[in-house]
Amino acid sequence: MLSLLKKLTAGKVPEPVQHQTLPDKVDPYMLGLYDATLSGWFNQQTDELFSGFVITPEDTVLDVGCGDGGNVHFCAMRGAKIILADIDADKVEATRQRLVDTPACAVEHHVTDCNPLPLADATATRIVSTEVIEHVDDPAQFLSELVRVGKPGALYLLSVPHPSSEDLQKDIAAPEYFQKPNHIRIISEDQFKQMVTDAGLEVISHSQYGFYWSMWMLLFWEANVDLRNADHPLLNHWASTWQAVLASPRGAQIKQALDAVVAKSQVIIARKPVTE
């Protein structure tokens, strides 16, 4: 579901809910983007793609599994050099075109399955790969390539679905959701951290977020609508309810409590050690 958020980040982040008059119908995707910003994503003021992951004009940002390019658009707007990588040629080209009018100092793009990545060792200072590892056949090989192309001291922003949400979907989702090329594994918190440390990275933070999206996806399967036009009373009512929750006096506290119980994603920020 993070891929849906990536699509939205080219535009202005929505105004805080508590400062709005609540509309009769809420755009569920824009609300999801706002919910993500509350969780630390896309901070326009601090230049953090995610809390603790600052992007500067001096950075070379590699996004592996760039999808529709929301993450790299945020980074490009900060003047960084951008390297796109995805197995889907159409998405790579669409994202490349999306970055044409940004202040990125350069944009490089590759269509690749990352086995191996067509990049030299120690290329990037920031490596991003969100909601990808659950799809790949060999996570250890995949992560080893990400580590290889990072400079010493490079920061990594990695995310995978949280098992609490995946377990919630298991008996309700369409069967293909848990089949190749979609989610072929459910990764526990301990497994995710172990994957990252086994690859040779130092974990800096490990967090989770996305109760809103977990419930949205659960209702999406019941609504049985097209993801590209997910207009259904169940989904619309849920979005309206969640917006009202966020606008309530203790909305942030309620969100934090629910994100801790059923999260759509878990996020690790890690660092490649600086060797002498």
Is 69 within a domain? yes
> So what's the pLDDT on residue 227?
85
Identify whether 153 is part of a domain.
yes
Contacts of 177 (CB under 8 A, 6+ apart): 169, 183
Residue 276 in domain: no
Three-state DSSP class for 127? strand
Q: What is the reported pLDDT for 9?
A: 46
- Which pair of tokens denotes residue 138? 């060999």
In whole angstroms, what is the distance from residue 131 CA to residue 156 CA? 13
Q: Which residues of the chain have pLDDT under 50?
A: 1-12, 14-15, 17-22, 276
In a domain, 50, yes or no: yes
Determine how many CB atoms are found less than 10 A away from the CB of residue 184.
12
> Which structural domain, as residue segments, surrounds residue 19?
2-271
**CATH number, domain with residue 99:** 3.40.50.150
Radius of gyration of the chain (CA): 18
Integer Cα distance of 190 and 188 in angstroms: 5
What pLDDT sits at residue 5?
Answer: 46
pLDDT in tens, 179-210: 999 999 999 999 999 999 999 999 999 999 99
Does any domain span residue 77? Answer: yes
Q: Rounded CA gap, 20 and 5, in Å?
A: 21
Number of domains in the chain: 1
pTM over 0.85: yes
Going 44 to 46 to 47 to 53, the CA torsion angle's sign is negative
Task: Report the Cα 111 to chain-centroid distance in Å.
Answer: 20
Distance CA 3, CA 147 (A): 23
What is the reported pLDDT for 23?
A: 53
Angstrom CA distances, 156 to 55, 57, 153, stand at 12, 17, 10
Backbone angles phi, psi at 20, to 5 degrees: -110, 155
Enumerate residues 6+ apart whose C-beta is below 8 A from 20: 247
- pLDDT per position as a tens digit, 87-105: 999 999 999 999 999 999 9
